Amino acid sequence: MTLRSTEISGPDGQWLLVADDNKVAYIGFPGEGAQDVNKLLRLPVGVTIDDHDVPRELVTAVTAMVVDDVALSPDNFVENGTPFQQRVWHALRQIPRGQTRTYSELAAAIGQPTAVRAVAHAVATNPVPLAVPCHRVLPKSGGVGQYRGGSKLKAFLLSREGLIL
């Protein structure tokens, strides 16, 4: 199986888009490369990433999401993760634009209030940020917290949703 990749210009630089023939598999922040895709997706042996031919409609949809803050339909991305990760990612998609949740609130929302660390790990391993809005999760202690794309980018993404932290 071959995944295809391309770069999209967006906030803070070039974003990496990895897709199969029909769906987005990974959206990488500026500075992330193929090694990050392999680490996060745990690609099986034999899966390669090629540097071209991402379907134009996926490039257009992801560019609109990254640049113009247009939502990407869940039908447009592959959700390959453990059942627990998928529950967390589903809960992330339920956080309305312009609102945030803490990791504790997210753990409670999936019915596992003591699984805060596991929820944080699932949030951090989200392969399609922005499509699954992990930037809307904040630490209970305040501030924007950590973010795979960097705290400056997380603050920018929250501010473009009207949140000032």
In angstroms, the CA 85 to CA 66 distance is 23
Per DSSP, the residues of 97-124 read: TT--EEHHHHHHHTT-TT-HHHHHHHHH
Q: Which residues are catalytic?
A: 134
Q: Which residues contact 41 (CB under 8 A, 6 or more apart)?
A: 25, 26, 80, 127
